[in-house]
Structure 1
Amino acid sequence: MKDRRRFRSRAAALLTTLILAVAAMLTGPAAPAQAAGTLTAAFTAQENGSWWKGTYVVRNGGSAAVTGWTLEFDLPTGVTISGHYNGDATVNGRHVTVKNAHYNATVPAGGSTDPFSYWFIASGPVGTPTTCTVNGDKCDGSPDVPPSAPGTPEVTATTARSVSLSWPAASQGDYPVTSYEVLSEGRTVATSPGTSVTVTGLTPATRYTFTVRAKDRRGNAGPPSAPVTASTVDPASDPVPPSAPGGLRSTAITSSSVSLAWDKATDNVGVVAYDVYRGAELATTVPGSTTSATVGGLTPATAYTFSVKARDAAENASPASNALTVTTDDVAGPGKYLKVGYFAQWGIYGRQYFVKNLDTSGAASKLDVINYAFANIDPVNLTCLAGVTKGTSGKPQDPDEGTGAGDADADYGRAFPAAQSVDGVADDGWGKLRGNFNQLKKLKAKHPHLKVVMSLGGWTYSKFFSDAAATDASRKKFVASCVDVWIKGNLPAYNGAGGPGTGAGVFDGIDLDWEWPGAEGHPGNHYSPNDKANLALLIKEFRRQLDALGGEHKLLTAFTPADPVKIQQGWDLSTIFESLDYANVQGYDFHGSGSDDSWEPKRTGHQANLYRDAQDPYTFDFSVERAVKTYLDAKVSPRKLTIGFPFYGRGWKTVADGGVHGEWQSADGAAPGQFPEEAGIRGYQNLLANVPNMTIHHDEQSISTYGYTGAGGQWWSFDDTWSIGKKTDWVKSKGLLGAMVWEMSGDTPTGTLMQAITTGLAGRPGTAPAG
């Protein structure tokens, strides 16, 4: 800070220096230099026949350069913009927000953005935009004019603990009025977006004085209104409660809400409100003139019990109405089946599988939900990790394989060319949202039915789940960070991309892929005997914070194990589905061999069998049927469960024939994989194209598909259209929610396997194939 005063004595200068030094010690380092309020913006218009050009020149009247500027203004009525230059602009109705381009971000002291000032092409009547701000200050540099005082408030109703008020609107100052504050004794006791409100939490039989003031969209508060006084009702004045409401009934049901109606109650004075209860919890309150309500924030395919009580002005509550139990719809909807597919972030590299391929293969039109895999956990802060580019080691058994890893470039930094873009339009290279995220937004625009969720964890990114879930404070912190970055879209700055709100609208929810609570999972993962209880609390916290956002229901899902032991170790099936929309149950990786000959290198085995194979030599039973039975036996609704289908195969080499085409026979490790670091794994399309002389067999008893190249050759376990058809019939026969796919790049370019799932889940529920 520069002090322009000239002091007359050395002592005064020394005193000032000491004061400043002490202030610096108390407040910490100064914020980065940016002279607040030094920027102004001047507008000019130039007519060009059928269109006109509007230009804003940003000037810096301060003594220090300012880096980064944002213009906001409202277009005159009837004006539309068809092009923007020298700035990244978004238009919402008449309101325009412009962020600087990378080359004109810094405005030097005493300088301007010329010759690279922002300008636009407009049609309609030529006129100067209104409510212009630059970096939050008025473009002409003058102070804001706040709204006027509202008219005198009027008391419209009182109860023992509330006062209802209404008032004439305030006049606008420089900016539109967006809210009103009600004050009593200098304290804000209520806020409202309109010109009425009910002040609650008051003391019975007490006199209050209220004033109201308006606030504009910039936060400027106007002067207070004239005061109004009101007294709350004395409960002793009316000891008679209302009668019980009757005929409680459901009028509409969705997957996340129930609409209710009831017959009105009677009272000797009058009913002022109805309280709607969900179980013992107050769900919502409606005025006494209303006999209907909608309760939101519910979980799909879940039974809820409701009741209603009437209340009078003296706070007397009636007896409860009849209890009504209602089950919400599932996510797919009655008679329909959900189709979920994982898109692998890293598929854009070796697999050369882009978001665009979801569209060109036909998968996007068939899928309902895309799970984006994966987001990591910050190893230090225990928050959702974003904005980093750090690869994994490529060594599957390395305990630090995923620690601190991420790929912000693939997520939102990479500029995709037109050939790899969903709509055929290349990223411009300096947009704030690029990469897979921008392509997912384009895909959702083309297929409006699609939802996209961010999957947290996975095999190599689950190391710190146990730590993040360990305490109430750490859970709240972790969930808040995930909601902030993935749902609100506040992406960290990365290579010119990111920034507040830049990722908003990409993701419609969160998917938890903790592998595995209460068990190690990937080598080096942290785990604890408390994980099971802490995971249940973490899921509940995710549901609470997602619901608190308001607006459209946000999905909360989980990838859950097929192994009954892992279910018992980490998943409290009695509580977690109160918050989860559904779970994607692992339906694959029952048997296999890895890159370092870990797992089961010496014997082949089915990786995705529907039923237990009678020839299976292992003592444990891994099958889709056994997995689902574990959930259903725990009273989980079948319409809360999808079953995983692999779009890849697992293979072994040097496999003996044994007279049964290599099934359950001896082997010598994993077969060569699609990629050198992934031995024993090939995508379905790659498997068919790159394993020569393979004969495909179908095991009717276990419902398994496998391929064999002959004695001493390769043996592969995978799903094809035959096994998918059998298993989708079974899914329908059990009334399950649908199917999940890991992962979409394994399919053929024309979507052969995705079509098989869609066809298999079409129509009425079928009969389970014999096992």
Structure 2
Amino acid sequence: MIAKFFQASKIALIIIMAMWSASSFAQVKKKKYIVNGYVGGYRGLVNADEIDAAKLTHINYAFVNVKDSMAFLTNLKTDSTNFRKLNELKKINPDLKIIPSIGGWSWSENFSDAVLTPSSRKKFAKSSVDIVREYKLDGVDIDWEYPGMRGEEGNVYRPEDKQNFTMMFEEIRAELDKLSAETGKKYLLTAAVGGSKSFVNNTEMDKVGKILDYILIMTYDYGGRNVSHHTNLYPSKGQEGGSSAHQSVVDFMAAGVPSNKIGLGAAFYSRSREATTTDQNGLLQASVSGSKAVAGQGGGYTKMKDEFIDQKGYKRYWDKAAQAPYLFNPENKVFLTYDDERSIQKKAKYIKKNKLAGIFFWEYFNDPKEYLLTEIDRVLP
């Protein structure tokens, strides 16, 4: 009798656990739009338990280095652990895709050499996909900053980058197709691209757009000689023709990229500018020459919201034309530019209206309280 009781209890427990598991999966509603968050693994171990997997469709793991014409895991021990932990998030959201992002601002200096010849491109493509194969990941993301342009000081770049950029993706796609034949699974190929017209001019986006699944336009880090926004949806009044997310989307679509492959970028961090005057609360004023990360920089959005917005001498303003917020402190003339819940709403509306693929953001842990991710989850089904 006791043995039968325990056997029945065990069966009941298994059924309950199965029902709980099915219920957990059912709570993660499949999204119509992509919500892609970059997670920085370059710092070391990622606390995957703090990632709200149910609100994401993709995680781009930043970054994989480029060395000797190969995709290279510089921090093998922590990278491999991070891949395992991120893959475990699929227990919460089985549709979640984990994709290693190769390059980034600091690790793009060797791209031009890595894809210069047919043999080097094949070597690079194979090594990229070997990482996907070994760690059971879901595709490859390329963040080359930038083909045909310097990017970070010391980067190698050459005119041939324009065609080699395209051929690099052709090689990676061919390697991913081989992997698909092995596993029966579809793998994604994506790219983070600069939002400038010069990026479009230095690439063949019409051809690239046919190869890639998604093109993530980095509609942030805009800048200029004057104090202005860094992640604005539209230009400010008086700055028509200036940098904006809308202009970037227009440029890429004009170059032949389909709207349904475009991801719009959101910044989970602020940038600071130092104005020479308090006129117009710093907006569009001349910036202090050579000023870098000036005192008062807000940092990530959680810190911005909790410590800076309408605090410490900073007052919040809304630029109606740009559809973007900013802070200004008249005492130190520091201007802080960032995304907030309202600008996220505007970007979501823009994504829906223009039938874009969805949204992505840098970087997940810049907003640990999830103020912005919660808003994205609310406004993008």
TM bin (shorter chain): 0.7 to 0.9
Check the 8 A contact 1:655/1:711 in 2, yes or no: no
Q: How does 1:419-458 map to 2 (within 5 A)?
A: 435-458=81-104
Aligned to 1:761: 380
SS in 1 for 2:108: coil
* Residue deviations 1:686-716 (CA, integer Å, cap 9, x gap): 2334442321111111111101122434210
Cα pair 2:105 2:145 within 8 Å, conserved: yes
In 1, Cα distance between the equivalents of 2:42 and 2:256?
A: 37
1:670 maps onto 2:292 in alignment: yes
- Tell me if structure 2 keeps the 8 A contact 1:656–1:711: no
- Which of 670, 676, 687 aligns to 2:304? It is 687
Query: Which of 335, 340, 343 is matched with 2:39 structurally?
Result: 343
Residue equivalent to 2:141: 511
Residues 232-291 of structure 1: per-residue CA shift (max 9 Å, x gap):
xxxxxxxxxxxxxxxxxxxxxxxxxxxxxxxxxxxxxxxxxxxxxxxxxxxxxxxxxxxx
Equivalent position to 2:133, from 480, 488, 500: 488
Q: Which amino acid aligns with 2:231?
A: A
Please give the per-residue CA displacement for 1:625-668, whole angstroms capped at 9, x wherever unaligned: 1111112223321101010100000012465310x222122443
The equivalent of 2:105 in structure 1 is 459
CA RMSD of aligned residues (A): 2.2
Deviation of 1:620 (Å):
6.1
Seen in structure 2, the aligned counterparts of structure 1 residues 690 and 747 have a Cα distance that, compared at 3 Å, is: same
Deviation by residue 1:368-414 (Cα, 9 ceiling, x = unmatched): 00000000011xx311112xxxxxxxxxxxxxxxxxxx3234313xx
> CA–CA distance in 2 between the matches of 1:458 and 1:605?
24
Between the aligned partners of 2:215 and 2:298, the Cα distance in structure 1 is 25
Q: Deviations over 1:41-80 (max 9, x none)?
A: xxxxxxxxx9xxxxxxxxxxxxxxxxxxxxxxxxxxxxxx
In 2, the alpha carbon distance for the partners of 1:673 and 1:547 equals 50
The amino acid that maps onto 1:470 is L
| Paired position in structure 2 for 1:712 | 332
2:196 is the alignment partner of 1:573 = no
Seen in structure 2, the aligned counterparts of structure 1 residues 462 and 671 have a Cα distance that, compared at 3 Å, is closer
- For residues 748 and 716 of structure 1, what CA distance do their matches in structure 2 show? 20
- Tell me, yes or no, if structure 1 residue 582 matches structure 2 residue 199: no
- Aligned pair in 2 of structure 1 residues 475, 681: CA closer, same or farther (>3 Å)? farther
User: Would you say 1:539 and 2:158 are equivalent positions?
Assistant: no
* Correspondence for 1:355 among 25, 48, 65: 48
Greater share of residues in helix? 2
Q: SS of the counterpart of 1:439? A: helix
User: Do 2:53 and 2:92's aligned partners in 1 also have CA atoms closer than 8 Å?
Assistant: no
Query: How high is the sequence identity, in percent, across the aligned residues?
Result: 31
Q: Does 1:606 align with 2:229?
A: yes
Change (3 A) 1:741 1:633: same
Q: Who is 1:411 aligned against?
A: 79
Match of 1:745 among 365, 369, 376: 365
Cα pair distance change 1:655/1:649, threshold 3 Å: farther
Distance between the aligned counterparts of 1:568 and 1:732, measured in 2? 27
The residue number in structure 2 matching 1:211 is none
Counterpart mapping for 1:250-265 below 5 A: none
In 1, distance between residues paired with 2:109 and 2:246? 29
Cα offsets for 1:557-602 (capped at 9, x unmatched): 0011210112111x2122112210010011101127xxxxxxx5xx
Contact 2:227–2:274 (CA<8 Å) still a contact in 1?
no
Q: What is the CA–CA distance in structure 2 between the aligned matches of 1:572 and 1:673, rounded to whole Å?
A: 41
Counterpart CA distance in 1 for 2:207 and 2:284 is 38
CA distance in 1 between counterparts of 2:157 and 2:287 reads 33
Shift of 1:459: 0.3
- Unmatched runs of 5 consecutive residues or more in structure 1: 1-49, 51-331, 387-405, 413-434, 490-502, 593-599, 675-679, 763-771
- Aligned residue in 1 for 2:353: 733
Following the alignment from structure 1 to structure 2, what is the Cα–Cα distance between the partners of residues 760 and 555?
A: 25
Q: Write the distance in 1 (CA, Å) between the matches of 2:44 and 2:300.
A: 14
- For residues 654 and 644 of structure 1, what CA distance do their matches in structure 2 show? 26
| Matched residue SS, 1:661 | helix
SS in 2 for 1:730: helix
The 5 Å alignment of 1:298-317 reads: none
State the partner residue of 1:638.
Answer: 259
Are 1:342 and 1:372, in contact at CA under 8 Å, matched by a contact in 2? yes
Q: CA deviation at 1:347?
A: 4.7
Contact 1:655-1:715 at 8 Å conserved across structures? no
Per the alignment, residue 656 of structure 1 pairs with: 277
3-state DSSP class of the match of 1:682? coil
Read off the aligned partner of 2:114 and give its amino acid letter: A
Aligned residues of 1:673 and 1:681 also touching (Cα < 8 A): no
Q: Which amino acid aligns with 1:752?
A: Y
Whole-Å separation in 1 of the counterparts to 2:139 and 2:201 = 26
Q: Assess, with a 3 A threshold, how the Cα gap between structure 1 residues 436 and 607 changes in structure 2: closer, same or farther.
A: same
Q: Aligned runs of 1:556-567 on 2, under 5 Å?
A: 556-567=189-200
1:655–1:712 CA contact under 8 A, matched in 2: no
C-alpha distance in 2, partners of 1:720/1:578?
A: 33
Q: CA deviation at 1:615?
A: 2.6
SS at match of 1:574: helix
Runs of 4+ in 1 over 6 A off after TM superposition: none
Q: How many correspondences in the alignment?
A: 346
Whether the 8 Å CA contact 1:375–1:454 is kept in 2: the answer is: yes
1:475 to 2:121 alignment: yes
Q: 1:450 corresponds to which letter in structure 2?
A: L
Higher Rg: 1
Q: For the Cα contact (< 8 Å) 2:200–2:255, is it kept in 1?
A: no
| Cα distance in 1, alignment partners of residues 118 and 170 from structure 2 | 11
Note the C-alpha offset of 1:672: 4.1
Residue type matched to 1:683 in 2?
G
Name the SS of the counterpart of 2:54 in structure 1. helix
* Structure 2 unmatched ranges of 5 or more: 4-28
Q: Structure 2 vs 1, CA of residues 577 and 667 (structure 1 numbering), >3 Å: closer, same or farther?
A: closer
Distance 2:379 2:358 in 1: 10
Q: Would you say the 8 A contact 1:343–1:744 is kept in 2?
A: yes
TM-score in terms of structure 1 length: 0.43
More strand by share: 1
2:248: which partner in 1?
A: 627
d(CA) in 2 for partners of 1:605, 1:654 = 10
2:375, 2:214 → 1: CA distance?
Answer: 22
Cα distance in structure 1, aligned partners of 2:175 and 2:273: 46
Q: Is the 8 A contact 1:347 1:354 kept in 2?
A: no
8 Å CA contact 2:112–2:156 kept in 1: the answer is yes
How far, CA to CA, are the matches of 2:107 and 2:295 in structure 1? 22
